[in-house]
Chains A and B, each alone.
Chain A
């Protein structure tokens, strides 16, 4: 038997952990979505399956697995099958470059699946663009006019908002000077979080992220009153489940990105200096754990924001969505780049940076 390289084993282990963790996280995101929406509507929410209803999501996923997978007669079977797979794969692929911390073993950061990729953000943007294919193909292959409308809307919406998303990111990238997510976090260390210097960019990124993940108030692709279920009308069983979980994985990705790019990732001012003082420095496993916890503590409020907005705001009309995207967000994002550039030039001119 050939010797398996240790590096491959480590990557395999990381992949195994991240895929399983993501599925569990997505399941619990569904649970918390239901709980938080219930609290906002003065209800209790799921509380029957297990203590506090904590196993509800597993019951739901189990139900989806055991349900009959109905494929309508006139659908294009190949694309009907591929579409949810594209959605889920692409949603998960983004996690290849998302670092959960900065802990080195043998010179490699083990807190990310594929560390040291210096086009991290570009890769994530590319992956989220491919996500459009999943939804559009689902709408088109279903041979159903409502599905098709949902798919078309989604394509138009995601392409429109990707622009302002990318342009909003440029402001943060100009300050950080790198596309590598670890480098971006490092550039923000010591409380120099991008959200302080880029409030407009953060706002634009936030709104664009809502639109990218097809969450309310931009959930037009699945607007129930108009489109039945949108692109997943003709899906059932675990194929539908994949779309459903992909939405939550995407939401988690967007929250991670916001935490990494705008909220300083695992950075807390003065925390790591203090920790180094008591011996928790690079090489101590506790450091990795603390970074991970800090990072999560920033992701969770962002996730809550997703829920909060969804259960507070009504859905946009289609023309309003396009007006907002092209006439407000895009010019604002461009203005943000201009402002950031001017700011950086001025600071450099006066020798502050």
Chain B
């Protein structure tokens, strides 16, 4: 006959069934944990520095001769949250186009990194900046003044992209 047994005395040994030794083991474990080192980081004083693989606030790369962005608008097109707005303009330089207006609404950004992936110029990349606090919705719309970051500060991410993409 096919009878499925699920009897407490068969599942557990006698010592497990009278609870107390197992409770003692549980208590011993937590007591041991009290003397282990803590993992807490004292945040405002002690900050975590992300590695190159971290996707923080998207920024525009600023080289010595100027911004990399050519205002193709691909990032704006691919952005699933419609956070990026680009308006192109032309110049007489070798690189003919530049973004006259480049705005990222940080209230919309979901940090997916699609803009970075789609960018043909490697001009928009994810930075390590994770401290994004705004006191009103207008401040959360970052213009070119806040987006352009000198290339020297972005080496880790560029290195990461070169290696893994």
Contacts and interface: CB of A to CB of B under 8 A. Distances in A.
A40 B33 contact: yes
Interface in B15-61: 23, 26-27, 29-31, 33-34, 36-40, 42
A40 B30 contact: yes
Interface string A65-93: 00000000000000000000000000000
Contacts of B42: 44
Contacts of B38: 38-39, 42-44
B106 to A, nearest CB: 28
Q: Which of A36, A39, A312 has the most CB of B within 10 A?
A: A312
Given A42-B39, A43-B39, A43-B40, A312 B27 contact: yes
A309 interface: yes
Instruction: Give the interface size bracket for A toward B.
Output: 10 to 19
Nearest to A43: B40
Interface in A7-44: 36, 38-44
Contacts of A313: 23, 26-27
A308 interface: yes
B43 to A, nearest CB: 11
B29 A312 contact: yes
A313 B27 CA distance: 8
A311 B40 CA distance: 18
Nearest to A203: B20
A308 B27 contact: yes
B30 A312 contact: yes
Contacts of B27: 308-309, 312-313
A102 B118 CA distance: 81
B30 A311 contact: yes
Nearest to B27: A312
Interface string B3-18: 0000000000000000
A269 to B, nearest CB: 27
A308 B31 CA distance: 8
B30 A42 contact: no
B36 A312 contact: no
Contacts of A40: 30-31, 33-34
25 contacts: A38-B38, A39-B34, A40-B30, A40-B34, A41-B33, A42-B37, A42-B38, A42-B40, A43-B38, A43-B39, A43-B40, A44-B38, A44-B40, A44-B42, A308-B27, A308-B30, A308-B31, A309-B27, A312-B23, A312-B26, A312-B27, A312-B29, A313-B23, A313-B26, A313-B27
When A and B form their complex, which 5 residue pairs have the shortest distance between CB atoms, in order from nearest?
A312-B30, A44-B40, A39-B34, A40-B30, A312-B26
Interface of B: 23, 26-27, 29-31, 33-34, 36-40, 42
Given A44-B38, A311-B30, 12 more contacts: A42-B37, A42-B38, A42-B39, A43-B38, A44-B40, A308-B27, A312-B26, A312-B27, A312-B29, A312-B30, A313-B23, A313-B26
